[in-house]
């Protein structure tokens, strides 16, 4: 038998190892800078050996500030989404979710659906499921032109359909075994473990009958990927004030009861990443919510607009998040011209330089977690650190176009204990 040349053997070994390398699974969360509003694009992907990857995407909220006002074309938002989809090989938007029905969250929805009806773009919305609380509970839906215009985009021949999504539903069901997107709050109702058992849930009504406050009725979603957890909930409020109610109470209790069962008495009940509720309003992110979530990374989606209770976000909210949670890293979708990377946790909401008209750009904040597909990994440990890759890019405030490539920011490592899948 001829002796195989050492170099050839090494090459063959390398090829064999590569052929059996574990496929990767990735969760990417784009917090798109849309000014005063929310727009979050979630992309979940699982590579498969000798098969096309499984890709599921969910667009939560579509903003309005720079998209709808002043007659700007909603195609600007679509151009941004299409660029992100191309970079990540996302074939379609699986879900369009409106967390609630305020203009800064759903104002561009009708226009976006209009754009997606065009022949060149229909394929990107084929089979798309549209979720809004007005369809879940028509008796409390708004009657203004923004919502009625949105409702006019449904009917025969459309590539999308509406679906009533309620608490307990997992939007990733049927796609992934180790990645879930739980609906944990909807239309004033949250989940409550029955007798502390997270496998048996009750509905907990937190909004009085007849309350029409949109912030009370926000959707809330908890995304889990192995031990990683992310929470997003539109303008969910945390106090009984100004016709609003403490809806954060429901999620705080739910998370604490579920996590204490999985991680008894170790004080590590938490979410790794949080999109801060209500743009950092003083009436959200209450101390009990902070104690329950203890995020390692917090994203403020805001345009620093002034409201009756102050500019959003407010310094007091950042201070709350750092209380008993000093390692929390802050990122913002606004970007003052006088500060290149304002991530130190200082909002400076009283500084005249931070008026909205002083901002000439927004920025996207992208948080991603990757690991080998779970079915090939048998050594996930309860105490594993989870590394969150963070990237950012600037957007022109007027054209909404990127003015920089995605740049890497320092990774954020969540070193709290995480349960095995």
Segment holding 252, helix H or strand E: helix 248-262
Instruction: Calculate the average pLDDT of the chain.
Output: 81
Residue with tokens 């950012």: 392
Backbone angles phi, psi at 282, to 5 degrees: -65, -20
Cα-based distances in Å from 364 to 79, 89, 236, 247: 14, 19, 22, 28
Higher pLDDT, 383 or 146: 146
Q: Which range in 85-94, 99-108, 235-244, 303-312 is most confidently predicted, on average pLDDT? A: 85-94
- Strands 95-97 and 129-131, by their bridges, are parallel
> Is pLDDT of 398 > 50?
yes
Give dist(CA 393, CA 366) in Å, integer: 9
Residue 6, class by beta-carbon neighbours within 10 Å (0-12 exposed, 13-18 middle, 19+ buried)? exposed
Q: Where are the beta strands (DSSP E) in 167-309?
A: 179-186, 189-194, 197-205, 220-225, 228-232, 273-275, 297-300, 306-307
Tens digits of residue pLDDT in 115-157: 999 999 999 999 999 999 988 888 888 888 889 989 999 988 8
> Is pLDDT of 318 > 90?
no
Query: What is the value of pTM for the model shown?
Result: 0.88
Q: Which CATH class is domain 22-414?
A: alpha beta
Cα 210 to the center of its chain, rounded Å:
29
> Is pLDDT of 275 > 60?
yes
Tens digits of residue pLDDT in 70-121: 345 678 889 999 999 999 999 999 999 999 999 889 988 998 999 999 999 9
Q: What is the pLDDT of residue 349?
A: 43
Residue with tokens 């008026």: 355
Backbone angles phi, psi at 132, to 5 degrees: -150, 150
Q: Is the dihedral of CA 178, 190, 319, 342 positive or negative?
A: positive
CB atoms within 10 A of CB 203: 13
Nearest to 408 by CA among 347, 367, 348, 360: 367
Q: What is the pLDDT of residue 237?
A: 93
Cα 292 to the center of its chain, rounded Å:
18
Give dist(CA 93, CA 97) in Å, integer: 11
Q: Where are the domains of the chain?
A: 22-414
> Is pLDDT of 8 > 70?
no
Q: Looking at residues 381-402, what average pLDDT do you find?
A: 82
Q: What is the pLDDT of residue 305?
A: 67
Give residue 243's pLDDT band: very low, low, confident or very high (50, 70, 90).
Answer: confident
100 and 63 in contact (C-beta within 8 Å)?
Answer: no
91 and 56 in contact (C-beta within 8 Å)?
Answer: no
């Amino acid at each position: 038998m001829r002796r195989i040349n050492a170099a050839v053997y090494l090459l063959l070994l390398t090829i064999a190892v590569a052929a059996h390398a574990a496929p990767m699974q990735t969760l990417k969360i784009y917090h798109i800078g849309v000014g005063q509003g929310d727009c979050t694009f979630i992309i979940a992907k699982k590579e498969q050996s000798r098969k096309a990857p499984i890709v599921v995407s969910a667009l939560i909220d579509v903003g309005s500030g720079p998209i709808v006002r002043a007659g700007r074309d909603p195609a600007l938002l679509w151009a941004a989404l299409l660029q992100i989809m191309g970079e990540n090989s996302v074939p379609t938007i699986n879900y369009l979710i409106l967390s609630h029905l305020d203009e800064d969250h759903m104002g561009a929805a009708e226009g976006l659906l209009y754009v997606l009806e065009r022949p060149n773009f229909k394929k990107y919305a084929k089979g798309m499921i549209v979720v809004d609380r007005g369809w879940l509970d028509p008796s409390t839906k708004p009657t203004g032109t923004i919502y009625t215009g949105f409702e006019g985009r449904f009917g025969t021949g459309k590539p999308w359909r509406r679906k009533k999504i309620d608490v307990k539903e997992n939007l990733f069901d049927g796609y992934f075994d180790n990645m879930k997107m739980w609906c944990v709050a909807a239309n004033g109702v949250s989940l409550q473990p029955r007798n502390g058992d997270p496998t048996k849930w009750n509905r907990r009504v937190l909004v009085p009958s007849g309350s029409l406050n949109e912030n009370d009725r926000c959707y809330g979603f908890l995304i889990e990927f192995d031990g990683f957890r992310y929470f997003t909930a539109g303008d969910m409020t945390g106090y009984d004030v100004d016709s609003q109610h403490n809806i954060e109470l429901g999620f705080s209790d739910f998370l604490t009861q579920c996590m204490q069962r999985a991680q008894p008495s170790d004080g590590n009940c938490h979410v790794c990443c949080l999109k801060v509720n209500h743009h950092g309003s003083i009436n959200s992110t209450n101390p009990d919510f902070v104690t329950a979530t203890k995020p390692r990374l917090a994203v403020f989606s805001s345009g620093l607009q002034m409201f009756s209770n102050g500019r959003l976000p407010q310094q007091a909210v950042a201070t709350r998040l750092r209380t008993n949670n000093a390692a929390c890293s802050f990122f913002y979708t606004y970007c003052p011209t006088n500060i290149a990377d304002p991530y130190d946790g200082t909002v400076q909401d009283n500084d005249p330089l931070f008026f909205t008209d002083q901002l000439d750009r927004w920025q996207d904040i992208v948080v991603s977690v990757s690991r080998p597909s779970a079915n090939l990994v048998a050594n996930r440990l309860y105490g594993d650190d989870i590394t969150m890759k963070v990237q950012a890019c600037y957007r022109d405030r007027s054209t909404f176009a990127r003015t920089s490539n995605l740049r890497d920011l320092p990774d954020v490592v969540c070193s709290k204990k995480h349960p095995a899948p």
